[in-house]
Chains A and B, each alone.
Chain A
Amino acid sequence: AQSVTQLDSQVPVFEEAPVELRCNYSSSVSVYLFWYVQYPNQGLQLLLKYLSGSTLVKGINGFEAEFNKSQTSFHLRKPSVHISDTAEYFCAVSEDNAGNMLTFGGGTRLMVKP
């Protein structure tokens, strides 16, 4: 069975600074990887996904992530954050042979300060 670890529960950062949110997973089979964002009192919105092909994936709102198979990582990055990026970010994994089931990491709260 797969597991997902988000190493930082909170990441404070100043506005316009770069940020990286870390995600590591473990699985014995091929995986698909996702990053979701959850703004306060809202549902989850897909930021980006890695299914196959290029390991650098670009998503919405200027975010990108890189799939590193050897390090089993899928870290999320943004070169310059805005106050409006303050939210909870969830990394999720789906195994190739597990239907459409998602396993979520514990979440990282990104706090952007002025």
Chain B
Amino acid sequence: DTEVTQTPKHLVMGMTNKKSLKCEQHMGHRAMYWYKQKAKKPPELMFVYSYEKLSINESVPSRFSPECPNSSLLNLHLHALQPEDSALYLCASSQDFTGALNNEQFFGPGTRLTVL
């Protein structure tokens, strides 16, 4: 199984809502990533988890709260978002976070988020 799955596929939420995005992989990978991608732009890294510990937070606002409950699951909790947070949120995983040699990132299909 070389797949990263993400749910939901689409999400529409108001600025006062609380919602969560979910990402799952069963490849035994120990590094997991959240990216944000705006239309016609490359993905921007938000968070990296390595062995279930947060390794990198790219100065992401606190209205985005990541969680890694176990090595297969990665959540992104959303609260009090702004319309400019509307984007495609991509999850990725890799064997680990030690280096790129034979350590490609596998991407999920993304969650299309719209904040009204």
Contacts and interface: CB of A to CB of B under 8 A. Distances in A.
B42 A100 contact: no
A109 to B, nearest CB: 8
A7 B55 CA distance: 32
A99 B42 contact: no
B interface majority secondary structure: loop
Contacts, number: 63
B98 interface: yes
Chain A interface size, as a band, is 20 to 34
Contacts of A106: 41-42
Nearest to B102: A51
A44 B101 contact: no
Nearest to B43: A104
Interface of B: 4, 6, 31, 40-43, 45, 48, 55-56, 90, 92, 94, 96-110, 112
Given A44-B90, A99-B48, A100-B98, 18 more contacts: A43-B4, A43-B90, A43-B108, A44-B43, A46-B104, A51-B101, A52-B101, A90-B43, A96-B100, A99-B55, A99-B97, A100-B97, A100-B103, A102-B45, A102-B105, A104-B42, A106-B42, A107-B40
